Chains A and B, each alone.
Chain A
Amino acid sequence: MIQFDQVTKKYPNGHQALSQVSFAIEPGQIAFLTGNSGAGKSTLLKLIMLLEKPSQGSVIVNKQNVAHIKRRHVPLYRRQIGMVHQNHQLLFDRSVFDNVALPLVVSGYQPKEIGRRVRAALDKVGLLSKEKLNPINLSGGEQQRVGIARAVVNKPSILLADEPTGNLDPDLSADTMDLFMQFSRVGVAVLIASHDLALIERYKHRQLALDKGRLLSGALG
């Protein structure tokens, strides 16, 4: 589903964020991407999101080499990936419902279908009663769950999460992890970038450990 083959990413300023990284994640698999800040976790996620392109090696997502994706097809490509951002990336000029609906709206779904799917996603994260609120009135944990609902509302085949438990207390972190595991059970490939060691230790999932751009362990799932 996600396959990195000898991927190196060097930024124009000379910083080498990733060196010869190879791994593969299969559908339904859940993996932690670990490492200190600056280890290359964010760069790796950006390569999958097509926010960056690799300097060397190939990134293959859903059997598609991302280097060959034409610029105008990038939006379509991104619709198969749900991403949960560390700072949630919510829009505070609209309701929770409208935030979650965003991926469906840009994909051109009908309003009726949008309503159905958004409510299903909000129900899943336990925020159905708050659909009309502005996310600014929600707690950090609730905002996080709005972000998760938005990431999965389009039923993506890949779910990426960048430090999803960064600002959450342990109970909320466990809830969030439970959600991710539910998605992996229905065949979604889940990749969670985190440096929350306690959390990672608690769940015995596969770990991709990055250090200074090199993959130390977990290359073979």
Chain B
Amino acid sequence: MGRNNMESRPPKRGASNRQVFWRDNIAAYFAQHRAVLSDTLDRLWSTPLSTLMTVAVVAVAIALPSGLYVLLANVQQVAKNWDGNAQISLFLKDSVDPSQAQNLLAKIEQQAHISRVEYISKEDALIEFEAVSGYTELLEEFDENPLPSVIVVYLDSPALDVAEHLKQQVIQWDEVQFAQLDAEWVRKLQSIVNLAKSIVIALAVGLALAVFLVVINTIRLAIENKKNEIEIHQLVGATNSFIRRPFLYIGAWFGLAGGVFAIFSVELLLLSLQASVTDLANQYQSQYLIQGMDFQSVLFILMASVSLGLSGAWIAVERHLAGYEFFAPKP
């Protein structure tokens, strides 16, 4: 019997009629997936309220840690951009007159690691204070200008030990009342942000677990509603993966929709914050644009939310199928 003859024969009856050729198998496989894809979307669309509720829960649970994380990343960015190099403010004693200050300036410039120095006289400080703070009336309460003159020393290095060394040196000079190392708060901010980041990650893990449980429960209810359908499918020879498939799709849809909503709400939040951030930045003579999520973060959030949906659905279906021991007595 020739090969062509074999192929053109009508399928035999009985067990051998499932010998469909592999190419047809692949086509049928994709056809099945296409059907399940539109079928599950229809199904979700037909119960818009409960679908929306689940998506909203997923979205909130994902948006919360994502939003916090992005905000922290921004704070970190600000701290880093402030000025990488350390700076020391030397507050001079009242008794120091401008010419003495100029001498001091020259003395400082001879030190190592100095980028530049800036002298702010009492009068300049007053003008700047009035301009920035607007507390003119407060100053009128004083008989004389209460602000000290300041020398700001910009270092050419971000290394804190260099700055610390210089600070220890200059503080012993007679003219200097008080010295402040301005990198300190940056460093403190950094460590606070790092701590906050770990808290956000812990929060994210907790909320991911919540998303997971919500999906499991939602899919469990969907399975309950489809119990009869599942049973009939099993009677006509559906494999577990066939039965699992629509529920996996539903789980993935929940994850995807929740992730997309989360990303949009975080971006919306950042957009709404931009105005006040611009205001604040202007006070510091800076123009800061809030950094949104980069492509990688968006991809990560979507992948995480889809896999949470998928795995939640998988567990719900497995639990149901395990309860359906085919040998178990049926009521």
The total of Cβ contacts below 8 Å across the A-B interface reads: 90
Cα separation A105 to B242 with both chains bound (whole Å): 10
B27 and A91 contacting across the interface, CB-CB below 8 Å: no
Chain B's closest residue to A11 (CB) is B329
B18's partner among A76, A102, A111 (CB-CB below 8 A) is A76
- Interface flag for B134 (CB, 8 Å): no
Cα separation A75 to B241 with both chains bound (whole Å): 11
Contacts of A83 in B (CB 8 A): 235
Contacts of B236 in A (CB 8 A): 78-79, 102-103, 106, 150, 154
Q: What 0/1 readout, one digit per residue, does chain B (2-22) give for beta carbons within 8 Å of chain A?
A: 000000000101110110100
B329's partner among A52, A76, A77, A80 (CB-CB below 8 A) is A52
Contacts of B239 in A (CB 8 A): 72, 75, 106
B32 and A108 contacting across the interface, CB-CB below 8 Å: yes
A80 and B330 contacting across the interface, CB-CB below 8 Å: no
- Interface flag for B233 (CB, 8 Å): yes
Contacts of B242 in A (CB 8 A): 75, 106
Contacts of A20 in B (CB 8 A): none
- Interface flag for B232 (CB, 8 Å): yes
Closest Cβ of chain B: how far from A50's Cβ, in Å? Answer: 6
Q: Is the interface of A mostly helix, strand, loop or mixed?
A: loop
A110 and B235 contacting across the interface, CB-CB below 8 Å: no
Chain B's closest residue to A69 (CB) is B326
Q: What 0/1 readout, one digit per residue, does chain B (213-228) give for beta carbons within 8 Å of chain A?
A: 0000000000000001
Q: What 0/1 readout, one digit per residue, does chain A (134-154) give for beta carbons within 8 Å of chain B?
A: 000000000000000010001
B14 and A157 contacting across the interface, CB-CB below 8 Å: yes
Contacts of A156 in B (CB 8 A): 13-14
- Interface flag for A187 (CB, 8 Å): yes
- Interface flag for B282 (CB, 8 Å): no
Chain B's closest residue to A102 (CB) is B236
Contacts of B11 in A (CB 8 A): 155
Q: What 0/1 readout, one digit per residue, does chain B (236-264) give for beta carbons within 8 Å of chain A?
A: 11111010000000000000000000000
Closest Cβ of chain A: how far from B35's Cβ, in Å? Answer: 8
B232 and A62 contacting across the interface, CB-CB below 8 Å: no
A79's partner among B25, B31, B237, B326 (CB-CB below 8 A) is B237
B13 and A103 contacting across the interface, CB-CB below 8 Å: no
- Interface flag for B29 (CB, 8 Å): yes
Closest Cβ of chain A: how far from B166's Cβ, in Å? Answer: 75
* A155 with B17, Cβ < 8 A, contacts A106-B242, A108-B32 known: yes
Contacts of B28 in A (CB 8 A): 108-111
Cα separation A91 to B15 with both chains bound (whole Å): 26
Contacts of B232 in A (CB 8 A): 89, 91, 102
Cα separation A93 to B232 with both chains bound (whole Å): 13
Cα separation A106 to B329 with both chains bound (whole Å): 24
B327 and A62 contacting across the interface, CB-CB below 8 Å: no
- Interface flag for B234 (CB, 8 Å): yes
B14 and A50 contacting across the interface, CB-CB below 8 Å: no
Cα separation A49 to B240 with both chains bound (whole Å): 17
Q: What 0/1 readout, one digit per residue, does chain A (9-21) give for beta carbons within 8 Å of chain B?
A: 0011000000000
Chain A's closest residue to B236 (CB) is A103
Closest Cβ of chain A: how far from B16's Cβ, in Å? Answer: 9
* A80 with B326, Cβ < 8 A, contacts A91-B232, A102-B233, A110-B31 known: no
- Interface flag for B24 (CB, 8 Å): yes
Cα separation A202 to B253 with both chains bound (whole Å): 56
* A75 with B327, Cβ < 8 A, contacts A89-B232, A155-B14 known: no
Q: What 0/1 readout, one digit per residue, does chain A (91-134) give for beta carbons within 8 Å of chain B?
A: 10100000000110111111101000000000000000000000
B25 and A108 contacting across the interface, CB-CB below 8 Å: yes
B326's partner among A71, A102, A150 (CB-CB below 8 A) is A71
Give 18 A-B contacts (CB < 8 Å), ordered by A residue: A46-B330, A49-B235, A53-B327, A72-B239, A75-B242, A78-B237, A79-B236, A80-B14, A83-B235, A93-B229, A103-B237, A105-B35, A113-B24, A150-B236, A154-B17, A154-B237, A156-B13, A157-B13
Residues of chain A having any CB pair with chain B under 8 Å = 11-12, 46, 49-53, 62, 71-72, 74-80, 83, 89, 91, 93, 102-103, 105-111, 113, 150, 154-157, 186-188
A-B pairs, top 8 by smallest CB distance, nearest first, are: A79-B237, A157-B14, A106-B238, A78-B237, A103-B236, A155-B13, A75-B239, A75-B237
